Each structure stands twice: as C-alpha cells, then as structure tokens.
Chains A and B, each alone.
Chain A
Amino acid sequence: QVQLQESGPGLVKPSETLSLTCAVSGGSISGYYWSWIRQPPGKGLEWIGYIYYSGSTNYNPSLKSRVTISLDMSKNQFSLKLISVTAADTAVYYCARAKDGQLAPYKYWGQGTLVTVSS
C-alpha cells in the first residue's frame, strides 16, 4: 500500500521560501505522477502542480512563477518550493498520487502539513 508523508517547517516568514518534502513508501516513484495540493484553513482544495518520474512538470498558472516541484529518485521522495510567500499561502499542503496514469483521480494522499506564513 502506497503511503505518503509530508515534512517541512510549519512556520515561514513572509517573502521567504516554503519548502516541503513528501516521502513515498510502499512503492516506487517510477512510473507515476506526483502532485501537490493545498487547502487554506476552512476553504477548498487548490491544485499546485505535478511532476512525472521522468522529471517533467506541470504547474497551476496561478502559482507557476513561484513554484518548483522536484524529485529525488534515490530517496524515493519529491519536493515543493514556493518562493516569496505571503499570508495567502497559509494552508495545509498535501502531497498526492493519482490512481494510475496522468489523467486520473487522486487515490493516495499524505496526511497534510499545515504551513503558516507569519512574521
């Protein structure tokens, strides 16, 4: 059973960089698309983007100028960097994997990690 676990700082100062890692266990990164999705407190879900195991990426245009998703095959993990954060980036950040293929729903989710942007 695939399991995902997010990790990273829970507090980031405005204008700084948010960095999170998602560790994948129970399966390989190879062959799949790996995504980040966020949810501001009390609000809905926003797709941030994905990375394919080959390294190709696709980002939400609303965040594209600030986002980088990368992966580390040797550690079976992938990462999110979001630069120049503001209070609007405060959210629970989830890593997720689609069921199978590129055009597929999200079957596997991490538990989520709350990142607060505040000085």
Chain B
Amino acid sequence: DIVMTQSPDSLAVSLGERATINCKSSQSVLFNSNNKHYLAWYQQKPGQPPKLLIYWASARESGVPDRFIGSGSGTDFTLTISSLQAEDVAVYYCQQYYNTPRTFGQGTKVEIK
C-alpha cells in the first residue's frame, strides 16, 4: 500500500494569512506515460462528506476558489490556502489514486488563530 503522511496534524492560522499543508507519499504517484501525479486534496467540514478541491496534484476542481493551490511533485505535495477565510475551517485530506488500495492521509485540521 502507498502510505500518505500529512503534516502538521493541525494548524491555526489568522484570517487572511496563509495556511500550508504537506503530504508525502511512500512511493511516487507519477505516471510517466502522461506525466501526471495521481494525487488529490479534499476538504471535509463537520457532518459533511469530503469535497474534492484539487486533482492531478495542482488542478483546481470547478467552483473551488483560487485561494486553494496545489503543488508538488514526486512524493512531496502541498496544499496552500493563500488567504484563510472563516469558511475554510475544516479537515483536509490528501489521497492517491495511482493504485489500489486507494489511500488517504490522516488529515490536517485547520482552525482560526
């Protein structure tokens, strides 16, 4: 199984400031044939299912605000919220869809400082 490890487990950021979440995969999730990283980011608010934010490591899902930015390559990836808003308080998960079993990071809880 590909192990996905996120850091930190939680972080508190002031409104309008930047939040950065890291995700490391235990092996590459890059398909050389199409040069795409099979890595997604989700946002989950209490009592709701996860919501897809980013796929292919950096492609923003339709309707997702542009303050959510995915980056990274190889085995190291980052989700940046460029200017934290109150509605961004949530738990964020990375996930690999490179192979099965699909695996998720343990989650990072983002709060307002």
Question: A interface vs B, CB < 8 Å?
Answer: 35, 44-47, 49, 58, 60-62, 94, 96, 98-99, 103-107, 109-112
Contacts and interface: CB of A to CB of B under 8 A. Distances in A.
A99 B105 CA distance: 20
A1 B89 CA distance: 26
Interface stretch (B19-27, B74-82, B96-104): B96-104
Contacts of A45: 50, 93, 95, 104, 107
Contacts, number: 55
A58 B97 CA distance: 13
13 contacts: A44-B93, A44-B105, A44-B107, A47-B103, A61-B101, A94-B49, A96-B49, A99-B55, A104-B55, A105-B42, A105-B97, A106-B42, A111-B48
B42 to A, nearest CB: 8
A48 B42 CA distance: 18
Nearest to B61: A107
Given A44-B93, A45-B93, A60 B52 contact: no
